[in-house]
Structure 1
Amino acid sequence: MPVTRLGRGPKYQQIADALRQNIDDGAYEPDGKLPTEKELEAEYEASRETVRKALAMLVNEGLVISARPQGHFVRRREPMVFRPQSEFRPRPYTPEMDAFMTQYAAEGREPIQRIEVGIVEPPPEVAKRLKLEPGQLAAVRKRVRYLDGEPFNTNDSYYPLDLVRDSVIMRPDDITPGANEVLADLGYRQVRALDEIYVRMPKPSETERLKLAPGTPVASYITTGFTEEGQPVRVVLSVLPGDRHVISYERRRDLPAENA
């Protein structure tokens, strides 16, 4: 049963804290309806304005969905598990779908990705990692990935234009074997990758692309792929909203030969 717990701070914050705790405890289940504003006014002895401020806090946090005139509902959270270590794993995918589409369709979800391809002067952070000269152009594949109709993340891949100009990378379609194999066929097989993760607030353009609620932090995940000779051939910029992702790394310790 929901429990009324009021702590310190402004009244609207106390109400938001109490409702949040009840959501965390499972008293209000995913997709479940919260008490009406009138019921909350009576329960917490608060004005309608105070109750609405509390509910707005929870909406901004992504915990609650406002569906007027029906009311407020607990948001169902089904985070995407983002696994950077899967980058170089074999890809037995279908002819129609790439890794993202195949994986989440198999989990019973509805994956969609919108792909745009262009030739650009890359951002400084990309040009530096690709070791491009000033004015040197890059090819970019920009993607917004959706699950069940909700934009989950952006995934923008940059390549030195001279490397991929005449390849399928320049087409706005799924690349079934994966970009790694395309680069390998071009003579630039990636054998290692450098991962960088920065946690920050989103840029306005990212808020728009991902339809983020105010106050939603993001993880900016940057991976740079290198050939055996150490040549950088691909930089991928992914923006992962904090309320929609779990970043999962798998690590293994190799034992010394005498202990194996």
Structure 2
Amino acid sequence: MASILRQAIYSGVYKPGDVLPTEAELQDKYGISRNTARNALIMLLNEGLITRTPRIGSVVRERRALLIHPQRELEPQPEGEIREAFATAVRTEGREFSQDIMIETVGADDEIAGRLELGDGEFAIVRRRLRYVDGQPYNINDSYYPRKIVQLSEIAEPGDIRRGANRVLQELGHRQVRVVDDIMGRMPTQREAELLQLDAGTCVLVFVRVGYDASDTPVRVAVSVFPADKHLIRYELDLD
């Protein structure tokens, strides 16, 4: 039963916003038990294909994925040009971008401290961003920097950096010359699920980028949490 409904969703028989038949209707139409119908809907819910709305029923979710090109973040940009990879991706699709920004000085956890190669007693400055598309929370981006490098710069100040934090790092003498990207899938934490208003069963992609300067010192660790149903991450590599 779940396979039949899944195919109907992917083929467009049921479009985003459509309400699926109830358990009783599925039972009558397909001659199945009520329990089989219920389990099929639960399976689609756990796969993130539908939501359960009180007094409405099982609603097909919007599956419009935002196309992101992570490599474009580090492409050269003319002086004065504003380039923020995610914001650019949103606006390219004619959608509205906004974000909430919070700055903190933190004693980084073991993973971040290790990636930034922080010594005992050293701190990081983190720019926490909750990013929105068309007014809806879309992803989380936390960027960590060694405090000793950025504490007197715009990176440590509240508000958006119109020319980009990467440009500020360059002005501080720490232009990133290489990056290492890690991507993994997992279920969201409770905090992530609440911030991103995730439906039950939605998994996330965690994208971690570590940027290194010319001396091979890590100067930035960016951790992005992307709901898997809302993002398509694409890399384009020249092989010549």
- With the length of structure 1 as denominator, give the TM-score of the two structures: 0.82
Residues 1:220 and 2:224 aligned together: no
Q: How does 1:10-159 map to 2 (within 5 A)?
A: 15-46=1-32, 48=34, 50-91=36-77, 98-159=84-145
Report the aligned-residue RMSD. 2.4
The C-alpha deviation readout for 1:185-229, integer Å capped at 9, x for no partner, is 111111111111222333333333323333333222111111111
Counterpart CA distance in 1 for 2:49 and 2:79 is: 35
* CA displacement at 1:97 relative to structure 2: 8.3
**Could you list the per-position Cα deviations for residues 57-80 of structure 1 after superposition, in whole angstroms to 9, with x for gaps in the alignment?**
322322113333233322121112
Q: How far did 1:234 drift?
A: 0.6
1:94-120 per-residue CA deviation (whole Å, 9 max, x = no partner) reads 989844334313422222222111000
Shift of 1:25: 2.3
Give structure 1 stretches of 5+ with no counterpart.
Answer: 1-14, 255-260
**CA distance, structure 2, for counterparts of residue 97 and residue 70 of structure 1:** 42
Q: 1:249 to 1:138 in 2, by over 3 A?
A: same
Query: 1:98, 1:174 within 8 Å by CA — same for their partners in 2?
Result: no
Q: Any stretches of 5+ residues in structure 2 without a counterpart?
A: none
Deviations for 1:107-134, whole angstroms, at most 9, x for unmatched residues? 2222222211100001211111111101
* Structure 1 residue 236 corresponds to structure 2 residue 222: yes
| CA radius of gyration, larger in | 1
Give % identity.
46
Which amino acid in structure 2 is aligned with residue 172 of structure 1? Answer: P
Normalised TM-score (structure 2): 0.88
Question: Could you give the per-residue CA deviations for residues 133-152 of structure 1, whole angstroms, max 9, x where no partner exists?
Answer: 01210000111222233322
Structure 2 SS opposite 1:40: helix
Q: Does structure 2 conserve the Cα–Cα contact (< 8 Å) formed by 1:116 and 1:141?
A: yes
